[in-house]
Amino acid sequence: MDKVGIVGLGLIGAALARRLVNSGDAPVVYDIKPGPVQGAVRDGALESDSCRELAQRCDLVFVCVQTDEQCVAAVSGSGGILEGARPGSCIAVLSTVLPSTIITLAALAADRGVELVDTPIAGRGMFSVEDGSMSVLVGDDGELVARLEPTLLRFASRIVPAGRLGSGAALKLAHNIVVYAGFAAMIEAVELARAAGARDGLVEQVTRASGALSELSAFHIPFYKHFRDDPHAAEEDEKLRVAAALLEKDLSDAVALAETLGVALPVARLLSHSGSKIFQVER
């Protein structure tokens, strides 16, 4: 089994570290913030002091950062993964990034004898990582998928070979259009029915019965209502702010990719201009 490293210990990276600790050899972990690293070490992970040092110790490195810029810095920046990665090792990018970012970084990795592949994930976020039900969308359909499979199945239940390099990243952006459009529609429907005097919960009940409500949208409704109605800590508001920022980034990336391909995405474009409002709640 490959020795695994994780760069980036946000909600996904931290959940992945816990899952790997509980499903086999403990991963080596790194984050620019010491707090998440200390938390992962308490859970049983192994600490590293840089991306470079982590890569020196690992056969497979998962990148779990938030943006394309962070991904580039972690992989190819000063002190990055490629400075320490051994020939024959592999970098798997779980982050939602543009296909062009993957292709550029993969070329840099190949110059050092290292494989880099897009492996974004689709599911219920950290919850699907923790219960092992995540889907992994791999930008490869050959030998690399077979190599990664034993490690991916430590936290995922489905591996989707998407095709050539970068296709996993494109598939994730397409997936997120559906997800965010569903969120927006459900939140607006809930608020319309509420304002008109319909009993709470009936929108979910009716749309679930008709098949209009997706499982993922249903999963998120209680979180939305919690932020709308219940007292909650400032750290929860910060998580919501980060989620809204990532939503806007993903939609903007999807629109940008579509433009390069000559594909019209009027719904995604509309959502991208007001993406953060999807997660705004009125008290």
Task: Give residue 271's pLDDT.
Answer: 87
* Mean pLDDT score, 37-41: 97
pLDDT class of 226 with cuts at 50, 70, 90: confident
DSSP 282: -
User: How far, in Å, are 121, 126, 188, 191, 217 from residue 221 at the CA level?
Assistant: 21, 17, 11, 11, 6
Q: What percent of the chain has pLDDT over 70?
A: 96
Task: Give residue 277's pLDDT.
Answer: 60
* Tokens linked to 261: 């391909």
Q: pLDDT (tens digit, 9 = 90+) per residue, 102-135?
A: 999 999 999 999 999 999 999 999 999 999 999 9
Sheet holding 115-118, edge to edge: 46-47, 28-30, 4-7, 60-63, 90-93, 115-118
Q: Is the pLDDT of residue 94 over 80?
A: yes
DSSP 96: -
Q: Is the pLDDT of residue 228 over 90?
A: no
* Mean pLDDT score, 229-233: 83
Structural fold of domain 4-163: Rossmann fold (3.40.50)
Mean pLDDT is lowest, of 10-14, 177-181, 236-240, for 236-240
* Mean pLDDT score, 234-248: 82
The CATH architecture assigned to 170-279 reads: Orthogonal Bundle (1.10)
What are the start-end ranges of the E strands in 111-244? Answer: 115-118, 121-122, 134-138, 156-161
Q: pLDDT (tens digit, 9 = 90+) per residue, 137-153?
A: 999 988 999 999 999 99
Task: Give residue 279's pLDDT.
Answer: 59
Bridge partners, 129 (sequence order)? none
Q: Is the pLDDT of residue 81 over 90?
A: yes
Task: Give residue 248's pLDDT.
Answer: 87
Q: Is the pLDDT of residue 275 over 70?
A: no
Kindly list the domain boundaries of the chain, sorted by start residue: 4-163, 170-279
Q: Is the pLDDT of residue 244 over 60?
A: yes
Q: Is the pLDDT of residue 276 over 60?
A: no
pTM of the model: 0.92
SS3 state of residue 123? coil
* Tokens linked to 47: 């600490």
Task: Give residue 274's pLDDT.
Answer: 66
Q: What is the mean pLDDT of the chain?
A: 93
Task: Give residue 278's pLDDT.
Answer: 61
User: How far, in Å, are 100, 137, 171, 188, 241 from residue 4 at the CA level?
Assistant: 25, 19, 25, 42, 30
Q: pLDDT (tens digit, 9 = 90+) per residue, 49-71?
A: 999 999 999 999 999 999 999 99
Greater confidence (165 vs 236) lies with: 165
Task: Give residue 14's pLDDT.
Answer: 97
Q: Is the pLDDT of residue 283 over 50?
A: no
Is residue 117 a contact partner of residue 137, using CB atoms and an 8 Å limit? Answer: no
